[in-house]
Amino acid sequence: MLSGMSGESPYPEVATDPDTGEHYLPVSLRGVALLKTPTLNKGTAFSRREREDFDLVGMLPDHVSPIEEQLDRVANQIHYKVSDMDKNIYLNGLMDRNETLFYRFLIENLEAMVPLIYTPTVATSCRHWSRIFRRARGVYVTPRDRGRIVDVLDCRPKASRPVIVVTDNERILGIGDQGAGGMGIPIGKLALYAAAAGIHPTRCIPISLDVGTNNPELLADPLYVGYRSERLRGEEYDDFIAEFVAAVRTVFPGALLQWEDFSNRTSFENLSRYRSSVLSFNDDIQGTAAMVVAGLMAATRQIGGKIADQRIVIVGAGSAGIGIRDQIATAMVDEGASRVDAEARIMTLDSRGLIVEGRPGLPSGKARLALSQEAVKNWQIDDHPIGLRDVIRNARASVLVGVSGVPGVFTEEMIRRMALHAERPIIMPLSNPTSHAEVTPASAIEWTDGRAIVATGSPFPNVQYEGRVHRIGQANNVFIFPGIGLGVLTVGAHQVSDKMLLAASKALASAVTAEQVDVGQLYPSMADVRATSAKVAKAVAHQAVAEGLAPPMDGIDQRIEEEMWFPEYLPYRAV
Ligand code: NAD
């Protein structure tokens, strides 16, 4: 048993004065301990009374700042940071000092701040983790902890119904194995849970399963902070994951576990192994898929018809591509198509071309994605194996989704070809970061004479073409995963089903206004992400109850609204 650590939450329950009705926090910490507790620290906003009651006199400058002034001060300091990385480091420092202020600033400046605390800047942060490391946040579990993972998790302050984002760091964004540096991802994603869905920060638990790294640069770096060893593999790895999941169930019953940035192989294996035994989902696979389906729903709202009418080409058959393919098929079935017909309308390519029956060396794991030989028997094929050019031409593609990580693979010839047979081609170059996009929105719009509807993975500016403004919606998973989390946790669901993901897509698509759809924007604006999360959460929660995956509950919509934490200072009373 590990000892010397407290599992109690440092954040007390909000209390209400029976006489005045005032909400307040009963706080037992005093002095330096209070100033050093980020969930409770108010910095210069402690009132004169609180300074007296909590032994803070002399520890703060005289002036009492309302939060608005503090927000101005934060904006001022961000302004003087030159690089995005400096801004990221400053913001993480702020989170470690005063979470209320950090989240308030984030919520009031979502559009500008999300790229700083998450993609693309988080990639640099993960890469340089061991050099910029300042203060530990989250839980690191290593092979040294085998046999006592339950104790390691138990040391963490408790919160009811938490969200855990866990990674084993092997495939961080598009930058590969980052060892202990992968912790930047769970921390960043959970910051988005708190900001976008109002999950209180004490309910957010970032976990790094630091099972070693096969990144030679990290292993050779004297400053590397992680478990300096080659990765755990095979049975040892599987046993480690099994022990971790069992420990989560014991220590955090009712928690939501979000798998994040595992390698292609382990992400599918872990998901299928644990999906029905622990409330969990994988954002790279399922969150991305739900996002893309929502985009297609919004697009078909504009151009008419159904998703099942489209001929869809997915370029990239990794976590994102396979998840997208499966969930689009589910959406088509929901529209009334048969599973066989639905799957026949979706063509998937990997780095070796079209995934088709009989392709030499086709890995067994991809066999179920294969288009039949019958479907391609009349195709006119120029390239062997069958490449994207041939697929677009023969399949008369109307939707092109890029999740290959390869910049520029959607060429002018291909896009112009699409525009020949699709009145409004839907083009989604989703690969991140910006420089990896399969095509730029400006090119896609120009090559289709302004007819393409484009959504991207990274943020892109609007495109002006022949006097018309095309707004480029960002297919950012932040519109989906925080709402899914809020929904399942509010109703106490015990599983995340495909139908719940479909409900999330429908809710997200409905959050796009008619005006936005008119200018080609397939996703809401970042500034509206909290309202969007609430919508998604309600849809997911109702679906969970309808499917019997959560107990019946009255007033779900209101509970979801009430559940959303908004960062503001409550008065403190000494206990
Ligand atoms: P992954 O490594 O699991 O998969 C990449 C796939 O692309 C592999 O199957 C590979 O064979 C294939 N590929 C490589 N070169 C190709 C080529 N020239 N043509 C066709 N296929 C090719 O990665 P992933 O998690 O699936 O993510 C892929 C990309 O999608 C990344 O850039 C990621 O940033 C992006 N992504 C975006 C979003 C979003 O916008 N919301 C969400 C998830 C992933």
* Ligand 1 lined by 93 (C-beta under 6 Å): no
* Ligand 1 lined by 317 (C-beta under 6 Å): yes
**Surface-to-core class of residue 524, CB atoms within 10 Å of its CB (0-12 exposed, 13-18 middle, 19+ buried):** buried
Q: What confidence category does residue 349 fall into, taking pLDDT thresholds of 50, 70 and 90?
A: very high
Q: Which residues does 368 contact at the CB level (< 8 Å), separation at least 6?
A: none
- Residue 383 is predicted with a pLDDT of 87
The string of pLDDT tens digits covering residues 413-439 is: 999 999 999 999 999 999 987 888 999
Q: Where are the beta strands (DSSP E) in 210-293?
A: 256-259, 280-282
Instruction: Please give the torsion angle defined by the CA atoms of residues 232, 234, 237 and 243, in that order, rounded to the nearest 10 degrees.
Output: -160
* Ligand 1 lined by 202 (C-beta under 6 Å): no
Cα–Cα distance measured from residue 563 to residue 335, given in angstroms and rounded to the nearest whole number: 33
Whether the per-residue pLDDT at 309 is higher than 80: the answer is yes
Question: Ligand 1 test: best mutation among 263, 403, 508, 522, most atoms within 8 Å of CB?
Answer: 403
Closest by CA position to 448, among listed 468, 474, 419: 419
Q: What confidence category does residue 4 fall into, taking pLDDT thresholds of 50, 70 and 90?
A: very low
What are the strands of the beta sheet with 353-354, ordered from one edge?
353-354, 346-350, 312-315, 399-402, 426-429, 453-456, 473-474
In this structure, what are the phi and psi dihedrals at residue 429, rounded to the nearest 5 degrees? -85, 95
* Ligand 1 lined by 475 (C-beta under 6 Å): yes
* Ligand 1 lined by 288 (C-beta under 6 Å): yes
Give residue limits of the domains in the chain: 15-278, 286-478, 479-563
Cα–Cα distance measured from residue 428 to residue 457, given in angstroms and rounded to the nearest whole number: 8
- How many whole angstroms from 402 Cα to the centroid of ligand 1? 7
What is the residue-wise DSSP string for 330-398? HHHHHTT--HHHHHHTEEEEETTEE-BTT-TT--GGGGGGPBPHHHHTT----SSS--HHHHHHHHT-S
- Residue 2 is predicted with a pLDDT of 58
Q: Are 102 and 566 within 8 A, CB to CB?
A: no
* Ligand 1 lined by 139 (C-beta under 6 Å): no
Per cent of the chain over pLDDT 90 is 91
Question: Ligand 1 test: best mutation among 281, 284, 350, most atoms within 8 Å of CB?
Answer: 350
Cα–Cα distance measured from residue 149 to residue 243, given in angstroms and rounded to the nearest whole number: 7
Q: Are 174 and 129 within 8 A, CB to CB?
A: no
What is the residue-wise DSSP string for 91-134? HHHHHHH-HHHHHHHHHHTHHHHHHHHSTTHHHHHHHTHHHH--
**Surface-to-core class of residue 58, CB atoms within 10 Å of its CB (0-12 exposed, 13-18 middle, 19+ buried):** exposed
In this structure, what are the phi and psi dihedrals at residue 239, rounded to the nearest 5 degrees? -65, -40
The string of pLDDT tens digits covering residues 326-346 is: 999 999 999 999 999 999 999
DSSP state of 31: H
Closest by CA position to 453, among listed 283, 228, 299, 264: 299
Q: Specify the CATH number of the domain 15-278.
A: 3.40.50.10380
The string of pLDDT tens digits covering residues 430-463 is: 998 788 899 999 999 999 999 999 999 988 999 9
Closest residue by Cα to atom 23, ligand 1, is: 318
Cα–Cα distance measured from residue 68 to residue 46, given in angstroms and rounded to the nearest whole number: 14
Cα–Cα distance measured from residue 118 to residue 106, given in angstroms and rounded to the nearest whole number: 12
Per cent of the chain over pLDDT 70 is 98
Cα–Cα distance measured from residue 156 to residue 393, given in angstroms and rounded to the nearest whole number: 56
The string of pLDDT tens digits covering residues 46-104 is: 999 999 999 999 999 999 999 999 999 999 999 999 999 999 999 999 999 999 999 99
Q: Measured on CA atoms in the order 194, 199, 203, 209, is the torsion positive or negative?
A: negative
- Residue 466 is predicted with a pLDDT of 95
* Ligand 1 lined by 168 (C-beta under 6 Å): no
Q: Could you confirm whether 306 is annotated as catalytic?
A: no
Whether the per-residue pLDDT at 521 is higher than 80: the answer is yes
Indicate which residue of 189, 506, 535, 538 is catalytic.
189
- Residue 10 is predicted with a pLDDT of 65
In this structure, what are the phi and psi dihedrals at residue 331, rounded to the nearest 5 degrees? -65, -40
Question: Ligand 1 test: best mutation among 285, 404, 434, 456, most atoms within 8 Å of CB?
Answer: 404
Domain 286-478: CATH architecture, name and number where available: 3-Layer(aba) Sandwich (3.40)
User: Position of tokens 């095509």?
Assistant: 439
* H or E stretch at 538: helix 529-546
The string of pLDDT tens digits covering residues 122-146 is: 999 999 999 999 999 999 999 999 9
Q: Are 382 and 348 within 8 A, CB to CB?
A: no
Q: What confidence category does residue 299 fall into, taking pLDDT thresholds of 50, 70 and 90?
A: very high
Which atom of ligand 1 is the closest one to the Cα of 476?
Answer: 41
Whether the per-residue pLDDT at 158 is higher than 90: the answer is no
- How many whole angstroms from 354 Cα to the centroid of ligand 1? 15
Q: Please measure the distance between the N-terminal and C-terminal CA atoms of the chain and give it in whole angstroms.
A: 31
- How many whole angstroms from 408 Cα to the centroid of ligand 1? 13
- Residue 207 is predicted with a pLDDT of 98
The string of pLDDT tens digits covering residues 395-418 is: 999 999 999 999 999 999 999 999
- Residue 9 is predicted with a pLDDT of 61
Domain 479-563: which topology? Rossmann fold (3.40.50)
* Ligand 1 lined by 320 (C-beta under 6 Å): yes
Q: Once rounded to an integer, what is the mean pLDDT over residues 244-249?
A: 97
Whether the per-residue pLDDT at 565 is higher than 80: the answer is yes
Whether the per-residue pLDDT at 3 is higher than 70: the answer is no
Whether the per-residue pLDDT at 5 is higher than 60: the answer is no
Indicate which residue of 11, 87, 103, 118 is catalytic.
118
Q: Measured on CA atoms in the order 285, 291, 295, 297, is the torsion positive or negative?
A: positive
